[in-house]
Amino acid sequence: MSSYLFTDAKDEQPNLRLAIVGPEGSGKTWTALAIATNLGDRVGLIDTENGSAAKYRRDFPFKHLKLSTFAPLTYVQAIEAAATQGFDVLIIDSLSHAWSGKDGALEQVDRRAAGNKFSAWREVTPMHNALVDAIVGAPMHVIATMRAKTEYAVEQDGGKTKVVKLGLAPVQRDGISYEFDVIGDIDQNHNLRITKTRCRELDNEVIPKPGAELAETLKRWLGSGDPAPPGADPDVLERIRDLEEKLAAAGAVSLQQFSQGLRRYNVKAVADLSAADATDLLARLEAKLAQVTEPPADPDPEPAPEPAAEPSPYQIPEAVIAERQAQLDEQNKARPAGSRK
């Protein structure tokens, strides 16, 4: 088929990227459908949960695509297909499988990691980046759901070692939240707590049983032509422009790619970036420049440092935490009192 597809001319409006994070049964699929069907006329849903979204076919009008392999590049193909089929809104339910599901990024690394994890990630990271780019560049609104995992940390408390709960994090690559305009955590009572938003009206909101009303708020924001609250430090903006020129001069990023990259933040010009987005973009560009200007490889290199540990994709079961806590308590008891700090 020809890729030169003529479509109805539309007002240029930024596309929404919304993420809904929650445990099973919290309302990710339902809420995504309730918002999507109020946001646009044609809704497509990529289903990685064994067709479970199909149970809502009588509640909401949408088209359904079931995936059975969750390789990041399979998602890319599905997103491209959705664009060709002209959906107004695409739901990705869920994006977590591209990370920790069958054939997802972590499994792909494991499969290649017989030799060296570092070189396995070198192959898999571009696939995951392609998925992020497909989401950011999709010519429609995207609502992604993600499973929530509970994050834990080990802390010292008066000579005792304690396991403490930090909160919820989406099962996906660290930093995935930068790719979304609005993120909400949903709980078992279907309350959506907004944890990040470029839409000021939603700042710190907790929305019970979200649906049509939230869609209206989002539509107003998208139509306002002021998606990101401006206010970035002029020095930061200047450094971004400077890096842009350096990268272009080094042939690493073309100006066209650069302006496409701004779509990630729903702005057309550097000057429109919010403070947080400008900081994020600056960090990305600095990292890119460091890559480009890396000195040539040392002919007799030191052994490569171990790459940073990847975050665990799995929620740690409560039983394991309890067992670990019991072990730590035992150790605390076993130590003579004088040795405790």
Q: Taking the complex as a whole, how short is the minimal distance between the CB of residue 93 and Mg ion, in angstroms?
A: 6
Contact between 34 and ligand ADP by CB under 6 A: the answer reads: yes
Among 30, 221, 258, 265, indicate the residue that binds ligand ADP (CB under 6 A): 30
104 binds, among ligand ADP, Mg ion, none (CB under 5 to 8 A by kind): none
Q: What mask of x and - would describe binding to ligand ADP in positions 177 to 216, judged by CB under 6 A?
A: -------------x------------------xxx-----
Residue nearest to Mg ion (CB): 29
Q: Judge contact between 19 and 193, C-beta under 8 A.
A: no
Give the residue with the Cβ less far from ligand ADP, 181 or 185: 185
172 binds, among Mg ion, ligand ADP, none (CB under 5 to 8 A by kind): none
Contact between 27 and ligand ADP by CB under 6 A: the answer reads: yes
Contact between 28 and ligand ADP by CB under 6 A: the answer reads: yes
Contact between 37 and ligand ADP by CB under 6 A: the answer reads: no
What CA–CA distance (Å, rounded) separates 65 from 232?
A: 40
31 binds, among Mg ion, ligand ADP, none (CB under 5 to 8 A by kind): ligand ADP
What is the CA angle 272-277-283, rounded to 5? 125
Contact between 22 and ligand ADP by CB under 6 A: the answer reads: yes
Give the residue with the Cβ less far from Mg ion, 75 or 121: 75
What CA–CA distance (Å, rounded) separates 87 from 77?
A: 15
Q: For the stretch 110-129, what's the b/e string if a residue is b when 16 or more beta carbons lie within 10 angstroms of its beta carbon?
A: eebeeeebeebbeebeebbe
Give the residue with the Cβ less far from Mg ion, 33 or 270: 33
How many residues are there in the chain?
A: 341
Q: CA 340 from chain center: how many Å?
A: 42
Contact between 24 and ligand ADP by CB under 6 A: the answer reads: yes
Q: Taking the complex as a whole, how short is the minimal distance between the CB of residue 268 and ligand ADP, in angstroms?
A: 33
What CA–CA distance (Å, rounded) separates 275 from 233?
A: 7
Residue nearest to ligand ADP (CB): 27
Which listed range, 7-15, 17-25, 62-70, 231-239, lies at the site for ligand ADP (CB under 6 A)?
A: 17-25
Which listed range, 10-18, 27-35, 222-230, 245-253, lies at the site for ligand ADP (CB under 6 A)?
A: 27-35
- Residue in 139, 184, 200 with CA at minimum distance from that of residue 27: 184
Q: Judge contact between 52 and 29, C-beta under 8 A.
A: yes
Which residues would be at the binding site for Mg ion (CB under 5 A)? Answer: 28-29
Quick one: which H or E segment has residue 151? strand 141-157
Q: Judge contact between 135 and 127, C-beta under 8 A.
A: no
- Residue in 51, 29, 4 with CA at minimum distance from that of residue 190: 29
Distance separating the N- and C-terminal Cα atoms of the chain: 71
Q: Which residues bind ligand ADP (CB under 6 A)?
A: 22, 24-31, 34, 190, 209-211
